[in-house]
Amino acid sequence: MPFDVNAFLVLVGVAWATTGMWLVGAYLTWTGIRQQRPLMPVVNDELMDDAAPFVSILVPARNEEHRVLEQAIRSMLRQDYGRFEVVAVNDRSTDATGIILRSIARSDDRLRVIDGVEPPAGWLGKPHALQQALDEARGEWVLATDADMIFHPRAVRTAMTHAVRGSYDAVTLLPDVDCLSFWEKVFMPAFGWFMMMALPLERVNDPARPESLGVGGFFLIRRAMLEGVGAYRAVRNEVAEDLRTAEVLKGAGARLRVEYAPDLVSTRMQTNFREIWEGFTKNLFAGAKFSFWRALAGACGVLLFSVAPALLAVFCALKLLTVAGHGWLQLFIPAALVWVIQAATFALINQSWRIPARYALTMPLGHALFVAILINSAVRIVIGSGVTWKGRKLYERAGVRPPRGDTTTPNRPVTDE
C-alpha cells in the first residue's frame, strides 16, 4: 500500500457511503420522474373567449437574429386564445432583431414592438426590458417569456385555464429542452438533475414551504399581484430575474404553481460549448445566492460525490492491471458501483430528454463542467471582472461583497454596463 492502511480504510468507507447516497439519489430521481404529470393542452375548457382575461405576452429580445426569433414570435401569435397581445422589446440589439420584429408586426397588429432604451442606474438589461414591456401592456395577466420559446397553439389557453381553475396568482411552465450537440447532451441533463434535486415540484407548489421556482421562458402572472410586489423593479439588479420574481411573489403570499409542460412550450437553451459556458456563467453564482463560500462548498461536494468516484474507479482499475494487491479491489468495487448507479440514474433522465442512453456514462464529465462554470461565475463576479451575455458585461464594476456579519447573502451588484 502506498499510504497508511487506516487512511485507505477510511477512503473505502467514504466510497461505500457515497454508494449509499447515490442509491438514495437514484430513488429520488426515479420517484420524481414517475410523479411528473405533464400539463396537457386543454380540449374542452370553461374559459370562453369573450369572458377570458386579457393577456399581454412580454418578449424581451436582444441579438436574436441567429436564433429562432421569427418562429417563436409567430408561434405566440398563433395562439387560439382570443384576447391577447404580444409586446416585444428590441433590447438595444446590434443585429437585425428589430427588423425581424417590425416585419412581423406589419402583418399582425397584435404584435407591438418597442425600442428599448438604456437602463437607468441600478438596473440590469433584461429586467428593464421586461419593465418597459409591462409599462406598455394592457393585460390583466402578463406572460413573461423569451424570444427563443416555441409555443403550442393552446399554450396560453391551457395556462390561463389552469390558473383560473386553480385560483393561482402565477403559473410557470417547465419547457421541453432540445439538446442536439455533444455538450448539450452532456451538460443539460446534469443541470436539470440539480434543479430536480434542489427544487422538487411538490415543495415548490406547497404554499406552506419557502421553496420557489420561476421559469423565464413561460411565467404567467396576475398583473395586480406582480405590481403589488413592485413589478420588475423588485428584481431590477437580478441576473436570474425569473427565480427571484418567483421568490418575491411567493414571499408576498401569491399562489404559485409550477408545471412540467413539454407538450406546450419548447426551447433550445444553448447550442454549443461556448454558449453553455457563457450562459451558465451568467446564472450559476446567482443560484448560489451570490455567496462565494456556498458556491465553493457546492463545487467541492459535486467533485467529491459526482466526479471523483469515476476517476477513482479508473485509477483503481489501472492499479489492478499493473499491481498485485487485494486492497485496490476493495476500493474499485464501491467506486465503480457509484458510476454504475449514476449511469442508471441518468439513463432515466436522458430518456425524458430524448438523449441517447449512452450519454449517461458521461455524467461525471457533465458535473465536472458544472463545477468549472460555477467557479468561473463566482470568481469573475467576486473580483469584479464581470460576466458577458449577449455582448453586455454584467456585474462588471460593482463586484460582490458579503455584507457585514453575513457571508451567505452578499451585496447584490447594481450595474450591467
Q: Which domains, and CATH codes, for the chain?
A: 5-32+288-394 (no CATH), 55-175+215-271 (3.90.550.10)
Read off the pLDDT of residues 102-128 as tens digits, 9 standing for 90 and up.
999 999 999 999 999 999 888 989 999
**Distance between CA atoms of residues 212 and 203, nearest Å:** 8
Q: Where are the beta strands (DSSP E) in 200-309?
A: 218-222, 256-260, 265-267
**Distance between CA atoms of residues 360 and 346, nearest Å:** 5
Average pLDDT, the chain: 89
pLDDT confidence of residue 410? 38
Find out whether 403 and 334 touch, Cβ atoms under 8 Å. no
- 406, with CB counted inside 10 A (0-12, 13-18, 19+), is exposed
The C-alpha cell at 372 is: 468549472
**Distance between CA atoms of residues 136 and 223, nearest Å:** 13
The C-alpha cell at 306 is: 459526482
Read off the pLDDT of residues 300-347 as tens digits, 9 standing for 90 and up.
999 999 999 999 999 889 888 887 666 788 889 999 999 999 999 999
**Distance between CA atoms of residues 325 and 233, nearest Å:** 64
Find out whether 366 and 189 touch, Cβ atoms under 8 Å. yes
**Residue in the structure block whose three cell numbers are 409550477:** 258
Contacts of residue 359, defined as CB under 8 A and 6 or more positions apart, other chains included, come to 185, 186, 189, 346, 350
Find out whether 125 and 119 touch, Cβ atoms under 8 Å. yes
Cα–Cα nearest to 400, from 330, 250, 295, 311 = 295
Q: Which residues of the chain have pLDDT under 70?
A: 1-3, 44-49, 324-326, 397-417
Helix (H) or strand (E) holding 392: strand 392-394
pLDDT confidence of residue 2? 52
Read off the pLDDT of residues 9-18 as tens digits, 9 standing for 90 and up.
888 888 899 9
| 3-class SS of residue 30 | helix
**Distance between CA atoms of residues 329 and 324, nearest Å:** 10
**Residue in the structure block whose three cell numbers are 411552465:** 173
The DSSP code sequence of 328-360 is: HHHHHHHHHHHHHHHHHHHHHHHHHTT--GGGG
CB contact burial 63-98 (16+ within 10 A = b; e otherwise): bbeebbbeebbbbbbebebebbbbbbbbbbbeeebb
**Distance between CA atoms of residues 287 and 305, nearest Å:** 20
Query: What's the sign of the alpha-carbon dihedral 332, 333, 335, 340?
Result: positive
The C-alpha cell at 316 is: 483503481
Q: How many CA atoms lie within 13 A of 65 on its CB side?
A: 10
Radius of gyration of the chain (CA): 23
Chain centre distance of CA 128: 20
Cα–Cα nearest to 289, from 301, 300, 298, 277 = 298
Query: Would you give the end-to-end CA distance of the chain in angstroms?
Result: 56
pLDDT confidence of residue 77? 97
Contacts of residue 209, defined as CB under 8 A and 6 or more positions apart, other chains included, come to 203
Q: CA of 332: how far to CAs of 12, 15, 328, in Å?
A: 9, 9, 6
